[in-house]
Chain A
């Protein structure tokens, strides 16, 4: 049964510097007990999506501008704050990135756990305390009864994250959102915490949304993955399929920019050039186009919808058999996704249309405010956003430049490898 339906979710931040288009129409479903990974680089809107689901967007800047978040048949986006409060913790819980700061430093673990339990359940203090001990045992904290009396600073980072997990699971929520739960932890602890998270959610039948920028983390834990870029879902597939046949240029780029244990010896890493777009620009065209080596002219003007990779496939939204869908006009071929770059005569990514050049430039000037980088010229270290093509010899007309290396795109593996 479908537990959560996020439909065309739009989130904007109104700041003094303009409107941030943080989430631009995200749609996905989640089954009961399903484990979904949400992957993307910093600022791609993955955390904001989930804060919006929880209705915890930072005030007053954050606004849920549109869309529906149907959880268990109720649209959370239209719920009153007090009804929402009942749902938080009881039905949906969250684990945050930094366990060092997500516990109140002046309250003991006991106070914080008992408080959570009693906020939602009419139980005595003793019963709540007993439950807290049980939960701490469950997450593997030794001597739970005496550790309850301790303050957060007396726990290590890994232990604190275990406590956070215990608090989040205290009321056996139907959905647990884990926002980079292991990013702040020691590598040796990461696997332990992930195992724990996996085991407990499986035992309790809790659905899990795992937000991360680490593809290694989602690989072993989730059944399905949504790849996000600039506030859009650009690819969605079951986990094995995504790693087997990544189909969006961004996903291909992501997979090629991390070292793999099964890599062919001598294979170079291919970084994704440039940087994420300035989210203050209203999206037009494909958000990944400026960094994409596969882009066509149409990519600059038309943002593709999420469509099945196999056009004849019937769309299944959730579960391990979910249809593999991407939002791309010119997906890489199988050979290209293995190489991590366009092959053959597909070397020449389309330049931006003349009008857009100015727009990109002005956005760039605004974005580089104070970074000391000059918008024209300057040392180019990447794609169009980094000044290279814009300031150099990129022709203003739409004719294709025969000098691909001047565009600074990742077409020369040695060059790219040296930088990566």
Chain B
């Protein structure tokens, strides 16, 4: 009898959903554009994670073709045709997703670690520390992202880790700024004063109260950073600052390699371009959707 009495009201509580995360997820799944974004990202992840199982071809090796007779899209066995070196275009796009995923996620995490630390210290310390750190961040923000990335890659040399670091360097100041702003905004909230009024220490307030409440803003920024990272990586590749091995299937590098043959094989530009656009749009849509579903002020 005791259990019966306990279960009846309990289901009501549970139906009211537990936690802000579930609420946010529910709102996200009702958001059309965000679902489209999720679908794009799903396709992107599917290609990146399962690349070797999706195609029988080697993305790196092939038989060079004659410039005016490259087998185009629809060639039997090659849905998107071959490139000039006789490599299957679809295979290269699929493997390219892999590079994009690794570099964008890696650079996002590196940027988050770097920028998050700076932002957390600045936001928690305040005063002179805050001022010095934020002015440094301002300087970095004043430099256009792609220029900063080019600088880092030319300084450190070509290669995937270098590219990650370069893109991370463009994202870190943004993360720092967002986290600091969010910390400052939360610091004035009643619950922080309430926590102080019961004797919570500064460290405790920072880690238990401020950071968790600032997480949503950072999550949104992180998702959007993935989109810019994909574009930045492709941009670097297009400028010849891609992976160290020039054969690597990387979308930006594929674009550069094909520009000279635009007349003979325009699809070699078209498909990598579409891949870049779709994955970047996917993360942008998801980021916007997350912002809407996590922002309590936009609650519907």
Q: A residues bordering B, Cβ < 8 Å?
A: 54, 56, 58-60, 85-90, 93-94, 96, 98, 101-107, 111, 115-116, 119-120, 143, 146, 150-151, 153-154, 164, 167-168, 170
Contacts and interface: CB of A to CB of B under 8 A. Distances in A.
18 contacts: A85-B201, A87-B199, A89-B198, A90-B199, A96-B194, A98-B190, A104-B191, A104-B212, A105-B20, A111-B208, A115-B208, A116-B199, A119-B199, A120-B199, A143-B6, A151-B18, A154-B18, A164-B194
Contacts of B197: 54, 56, 88-89, 93-94, 96
Interface string B186-214: 00111101111111110010001100110
Contacts of B200: 85, 115-116, 119
Interface string B77-116: 0000000000000000000000000000000000000000
B9 interface: yes
Given A151-B20, A154-B16, A88 B198 contact: yes
- Top 5 A-B residue pairs of the complex, sorted by shortest distance between their CB atoms: A89-B198, A89-B199, A88-B199, A94-B197, A101-B190
B218 to A, nearest CB: 13
B13 interface: yes
Given A88-B196, A153-B20, A106 B212 contact: yes
Given A101-B189, A101-B191, A86 B199 contact: yes
A153 B296 CA distance: 12
Most chain A beta-carbon neighbours within 10 Å: one of B127, B191, B193, B212: B191
Contacts of A105: 20, 191, 213
Contacts of A59: 126
Contacts of B213: 104-106
Interface string B18-48: 1110000000000000000000000000000
B198 A151 contact: no
B10 interface: yes
B22 to A, nearest CB: 10
Contacts of B198: 88-89, 93-94, 116, 119, 167-168, 170
Contacts of A87: 199
B200 to A, nearest CB: 6
Contacts of B18: 150-151, 154
Q: Which of under 10, 10 to 19, 20 to 34, or 35 or more describes the interface residues of B? A: 20 to 34
A34 B196 CA distance: 25
A182 to B, nearest CB: 16
Given A98-B190, A102-B193, 8 more contacts: A89-B198, A103-B191, A105-B191, A107-B209, A119-B204, A151-B19, A154-B18, A170-B198
A289 B204 CA distance: 47
A3 B10 CA distance: 45
Nearest to A173: B198
Interface of B: 6, 9-10, 13, 16, 18-20, 126-127, 188-191, 193-201, 204, 208-209, 212-213, 215
Contact of A85 (B191, B199, B208): B199
A107 B194 contact: no
Contacts of B9: 143
Residue in A60, A90, A101, A106 with the greatest tally of chain B CB atoms within 10 Å: A106
B193 to A, nearest CB: 6
A119 B209 CA distance: 14
Given A153-B20, A154-B16, A104 B195 contact: yes
A378 B231 CA distance: 60
Contacts of A102: 190-191, 193-194
Contact of B193 (A56, A151, A170): A56
Contacts of A111: 208
Contacts of B209: 104, 107
A115 to B, nearest CB: 7
Q: Which one of B6, B193, B204 has the highest number of Cβ atoms from chain A below 10 Å of its Cβ?
A: B193
Nearest to A146: B10
Nearest to A103: B191
A116 B196 CA distance: 10
A177 to B, nearest CB: 8
A154 B19 CA distance: 9
Contact of B20 (A106, A164, A170): A106
Contacts of B13: 146, 150, 154
A206 to B, nearest CB: 15
Nearest to B17: A154
Which interface residue of B6, B13, B191, B198 has the most chain A CB atoms within 10 A?
B198
A94 B20 contact: no
Nearest to B19: A151
Contacts of A90: 199
B195 to A, nearest CB: 7
A187 B208 CA distance: 34
Contacts of B126: 59-60
Contact of B188 (A58, A107, A120, A153): A58
B219 to A, nearest CB: 13
A56 B194 CA distance: 10
A417 B10 CA distance: 52
A61 to B, nearest CB: 11
Nearest to A116: B198
A133 to B, nearest CB: 15
Contacts of A168: 198
B89 to A, nearest CB: 47
B199 A96 contact: no
Nearest to A153: B20
B13 to A, nearest CB: 7
Given A104-B209, A105-B191, A106-B212, A56 B196 contact: yes
A101 B191 CA distance: 6
B225 to A, nearest CB: 22
A96 B190 contact: yes
A54 B198 CA distance: 10
A103 to B, nearest CB: 6
Contacts of B199: 85-90, 116, 119-120
Contacts of B188: 58
A54 B6 CA distance: 41
Given A89-B198, A120-B199, A96 B193 contact: yes
Contact of B212 (A93, A107, A119, A164): A107
A169 to B, nearest CB: 11
A105 B215 CA distance: 12
A340 to B, nearest CB: 36
Contacts of A107: 208-209, 212
